[in-house]
Amino acid sequence: MRPVRLVLEPRQASGAWRAAISLLSALALAGLLGSLVFALAGVDVGAAWRALAQGAFGSSYSLGEILVKAAPLILTGLAVALCCRLNLWNVGAEGQFVLGALAAGYVGLFLAPAGAQPWPAHFALPLALAAAALGGGAWALAPALLKARLGVSEILSTLLLNYVAVLFMEHLFYGPWRDPAGQGFPGTAELPEAVRLPLVMPWLPGARVHWGLALALALALALWFLLARTRWGFRARVLGQSPRAAAYAGFHSARITVTALCLSGALAGLAGAGELLGVQHRIQDGLASGLGFAGIVVAFLARLNLLAVPLAALFLGALLVGADQLQTGLRLPGAAALALEAALLFGALLGEFLAANRIRLVRAPAGEAGEARHAS
Amino acid sequence: MLPSPDWESLALLGQIAVKSSTAVLLAAYGEIVAERSGVLNLGLEGMLLLGALAGFAVGAATGDPAAALGAAAGAGALGALAHGIFVLSLGAEQVLSGLALSLLGAGLTGVLGRDLLGAPGLVLPSVPLPVLADVPVLGPALCNQPVLTYLALLLGPLLWWALGRTRWGLLVRACGENASAAYASGVPVRLVRYGCTCFGGALAGLGGAFLSLSYTPGWKEGLSAGQGWIAIAMVVFAAWRPLRALWGGLFFGLLTALQFTWQAEGAQWLPLWVLRAAPYLLTLLVLALAQTSAALRRRSGPPADLGRFFRPGG
C-alpha cells in the first residue's frame, strides 16, 4: 500500500473567491472552537448557540444594541487596520480608547457645565470629540516616537501603556474626579446634556443608537479615501509593502509611521468618546471593556479592507450582544466573549491559510514518504 | 528612598523581590528558548493564565504538588502547541497568532475558572534550605523561597549553558539564525521549533502555577496582570540571553517589592496609581534605554530568522 500524503499548492483563484473561502473557513473554525469552549464549560452546546442567536437577533432592542456596539468597534477596527496596512501593530487601542474617553470626559465635566464656558453651548460636543481624538492620538505618540526614533517594538510599547491608561482612569474616578454626590459610588458625575452624542431615534424608548455610529461610518469612508486616493496614502502603502522601496523613493518613513500611529490612536480615542458621550455618560468601572482589543478581531475579519471594517464590526457586535445573553441566560462569565473573539482570530488565521493554499491528498510514488511539501 | 535601613527589613525586601520575579523569569526563559529557535510567541500572557488555572484546579482536586505543576506545564505547553500548529505548519502571522493565544487564555480561563473564584486550594509554601537560609540578608532572599523560585534562579545559568555550550543549544540557535542552512545540514527545523515552543509554553505554565499556588494562592480572573507582556519586554531587554534575563527579572522583582513597602509605609510623595503603573512604565523605559545604548544594540539583535515562516523544501 502506497502512503497517502498531503500536498499544498498555491491556490489560483480570484480575490472574491479567496475572500469567501477565507471567511467561511474562519467562521467554521470559530464555530468549532466556540463549541469546544462551551462543552468544556459544561453547558449544552446547542443551547449556548441558541442563546447567543436569541440574544443578538431576538428583539428589535437587541438589533439596536448591535448598532450601539458596532460604533466603537468600527473605530477601533479602523485603528488597527490602518496600522496593519503599514506593517505596524497597534495593540494599544484599549489604552487610547480610555484616554479618548478621559479627554472627552474632562471637557464634559470641567469645561462644559452651564455658565462655565465662554462659548455657545453647541460647541461643547465638537470640542469634546476633538479632545478625545487628541487624547487618543497623544497616547499613541510615545510608542510612535519610540518606534520611529529608536526602533522600540510598537507591539510592546502600545500594549504596556494599556495597563497604565486603565490604572490612570481608575485613579481619576476613584479619586479626584469622583462624583461628590455619588454616595461613595466610584465614578464621575453624569456628563451634561451639551456634550452627549444625540440619539438617532430619540422617539424610541430603549433604542440607544447614537450619532457616533454615523461618525464612525463617515470616518471609515474618509480613511479609505486617505489611504487609497491621496499622496500620503500612497506613500503609506508603499512603506507598508516595502520599507526599502519607500526609503529609496525618499519618503520620510519615520514621519509617516508617527502620523499613522497617532491617527490610529485618535480613531481609538474617538471610539472611547463615543462610548462615554453616547452610551455610558459617566466615567466608571467597565468603561474599558475590551472594545479596543476587539478592534484587532474586527480588522482581521475584514482582512484589513477598510470598507469591510463596518461589516466586520456589525458581525462582532452581534456576537458581543449575543454573548451578553450567555451571561444572563447560562451564567457564563463575560470572559466567554473573549474566548469567542480568540476563536474568530484563529479562524481568520486558518482562513488566510486556506485562501492561499489548496490541500490535496495524493498517493506518493512507492518508497517516497514525506511531509507536506510545497509543490512549486 | 529605601525603608528604614535595618537588616531585617532589607532581608524582607530581598525576599519579596526575588519571589516577585519568579513568574516573569520563568515566562521570559521560555520565550527566550522559543525565540532563539525562531518562533515569536506573544501568547505568554495567555499561557500564564492557562498554567495558573490548571495548576490551581488540579492542586485543589488532588492535593498533589507534582500533579498540579505537571498540569500547569501541560496546559502551557498545549497552548504553545496551538500556536505552533498555526505558525509552524500553517504559516500564520506569528504576532496575530500569539495575540489570539493571549486572548484565548484570558477567555478560556475566565469561563472555566468561574466556579473556582475564591475557592481554597493547594498552597506551595516557601522551603527554607537548611543552614543557608540563616545567612543574613542573602539567606532569606535566595534560600527561603518556594520551589518554583529556586527553579527560576537556577534556570538562568542552566539555560545559558544549554543554549550556548551544548550541541542541543547549537541546533536551537541554528534554527533561529538561519533555518534554511540548518535544514540543509540535516536539522529537523520544524520539529526543533515545535519542541522549543512547547518548552516555552511549559515554563510559562509553571510561571502561572507559581502565581496561583505560591505568590497569591487562589484563582482570580486575569491574575497575571500583564506579567506575560513584561516578560516579553524582558526578553528584548535581555538581548535573548538567559543570564541577562535573570538580572532583568530580579530588577522587576525589586520594583514590585519596593511598591509593596512604599504602599505599606503610605509614601505620600508618589501617587498610588503611579506606583502601580511603575512596572509597565519602567519596562517601557528600560526597553527604550536598551535601544539608545549603541553598545547594547550592536550586540543584541534578535535571531535573524525570528518570526519567519520556514517551509521545508519551499
Q: How much is the pLDDT for A114?
A: 62
**A31 lies in the same domain as A125:** no
The domain containing residue A118 runs over which residues? Answer: 62-318
- CB-closest option in A167, A341, A352 to B103: A341
Q: Is A52 part of any domain?
A: no
Mean pLDDT score, A342-356: 93
**A133 lies in the same domain as A160:** yes
Q: How much is the pLDDT for A4?
A: 79
Residue B225: phi and psi, rounded to 5, are: 45, 45
Mean pLDDT score, B259-288: 81
Mean pLDDT score, A65-84: 96
Q: How far apart are CA B290 and CA A195, in angstroms?
A: 44
Q: Is A258 part of any domain?
A: yes
Residue A374: phi and psi, rounded to 5, are: -80, 130
In chain A, the percentage of residues whose pLDDT exceeds 90 is 67
> What mean pLDDT value characterizes chain A?
90
Q: Is A53 part of any domain?
A: no
Higher model confidence: residue B173 or residue A202? B173
**A16 lies in the same domain as A108:** no
Q: How far apart are CA B73 and CA B61, in angstroms?
A: 17
Asked if A373 reaches chain B (Cβ–Cβ under 8 Å), the answer is yes
Contact: A171, B271; criterion CB under 8 Å: yes
The CATH number linked to B191 is: 1.10.3470
* pLDDT at B139 > cutoff 60: yes
Q: Is A51 part of any domain?
A: no
Three-class DSSP category at A103: helix
**A186 lies in the same domain as A241:** yes
Q: Is A327 part of any domain?
A: no
Q: How much is the pLDDT for A312?
A: 96
Q: How far apart are CA A233 and CA A222, in angstroms?
A: 11
A373's enclosing H/E stretch is strand A373-374
How many domains does the structure of chain B reveal? 1
User: DSSP per residue over A2-61, as a string?
Assistant: PPEEEEEEE----HHHHHHHHHHHHHHHHHHHHHHHHHHTTS-HHHHHHHHHHHHHSSHH
DSSP state of A290: S
Q: Is B141 part of any domain?
A: yes
B90 contacts in chain A (CB < 8 Å): 349-350, 353
Q: Is B308 part of any domain?
A: no
Decide if B27 contacts B44 (C-beta within 8 A): yes
Ranking A48-57, A110-119, B238-247, B272-281 by mean pLDDT, the lowest is A110-119
**A163 lies in the same domain as A208:** yes
Q: Pick from A294, A318, A342: which residue ends a domain?
A: A318
A300–chain B nearest CA distance, Å: 9
Reported as a single tens digit per residue, the pLDDT across A248-263 is: 999 999 999 999 999 9
Higher model confidence: residue B154 or residue B11? B154
- CB-closest option in B89, B273, B283 to A170: B273
**A260 lies in the same domain as A308:** yes
**A314 lies in the same domain as A171:** yes
A300 contacts in chain B (CB < 8 Å): 96
The domain containing residue B150 runs over which residues? Answer: 7-298
Q: How far apart are CA B109 and CA A288, in angstroms?
A: 20
In sequence order, the 6+-apart residues with CB closer than 8 A to the CB of B139 are: B11, B132, B133
Q: Is A158 part of any domain?
A: yes
Q: How far apart are CA B138 and CA B144, in angstroms?
A: 9
**A203 lies in the same domain as A282:** yes
Q: Pull the grid cell for residue A298.
A: 474586527
Q: Is B292 part of any domain?
A: yes
* pLDDT at B314 > cutoff 70: no
**A136 lies in the same domain as A226:** yes
Q: How far apart are CA A48 and CA A144, in angstroms?
A: 42
Contact: A156, B90; criterion CB under 8 Å: no
* pLDDT at A374 > cutoff 70: no
Mean pLDDT score, A336-360: 91
Q: Which residue of B has its CA nearest to A297?
A: B100
Q: How far apart are CA B293 and CA B141, in angstroms?
A: 31
How many domains does the structure of chain A reveal? 2
- Which residue has 543552614 as its cell numbers? B131
Q: Cα dist. A186→A15, A176, A275, A283, A284 in Å?
A: 51, 11, 18, 9, 7
The CATH number linked to A114 is: 1.10.3470
Check: pTM over 0.90? Answer yes or no: yes
Q: Is A326 part of any domain?
A: no
- Return the residue in A164, A320, A332 with the most chain B beta carbons within 10 A, the one to mutate for interface testing: A164
Q: How much is the pLDDT for A46?
A: 94
Mean pLDDT score, B120-149: 85
Q: How much is the pLDDT for A301?
A: 93
> What mean pLDDT value characterizes chain B?
90
Contact: B281, A152; criterion CB under 8 Å: no
Decide if A71 contacts A216 (C-beta within 8 A): yes
Q: How much is the pLDDT for B267?
A: 61
Reported as a single tens digit per residue, the pLDDT across A10-28 is: 887 777 888 888 899 999 9
* pLDDT at B55 > cutoff 80: yes
Decide if B221 contacts A333 (C-beta within 8 A): yes
Identify which of B166, B170, B281 has the alpha carbon closest to the alpha carbon of residue B233: B281
Higher model confidence: residue A344 or residue A114? A344
Three-class DSSP category at B144: strand
**A86 lies in the same domain as A28:** no
**A187 lies in the same domain as A296:** yes
- Tell me the ipTM for this assembly: 0.92
* pLDDT at A129 > cutoff 70: yes
Q: Which residues pair with A4 in a beta bridge?
A: A363
- A272 pLDDT band, cuts 50/70/90, is very high
Q: How much is the pLDDT for B300?
A: 65
**A131 lies in the same domain as A181:** yes
* pLDDT at B296 > cutoff 80: no
Reported as a single tens digit per residue, the pLDDT across B164-193 is: 999 999 999 999 999 999 999 999 999 999
Q: How much is the pLDDT for A2?
A: 66
Q: How much is the pLDDT for A364?
A: 64
DSSP state of B268: S
Q: Is A323 part of any domain?
A: no
- B297 pLDDT band, cuts 50/70/90, is low
Q: How far apart are CA B11 and CA B32, in angstroms?
A: 30
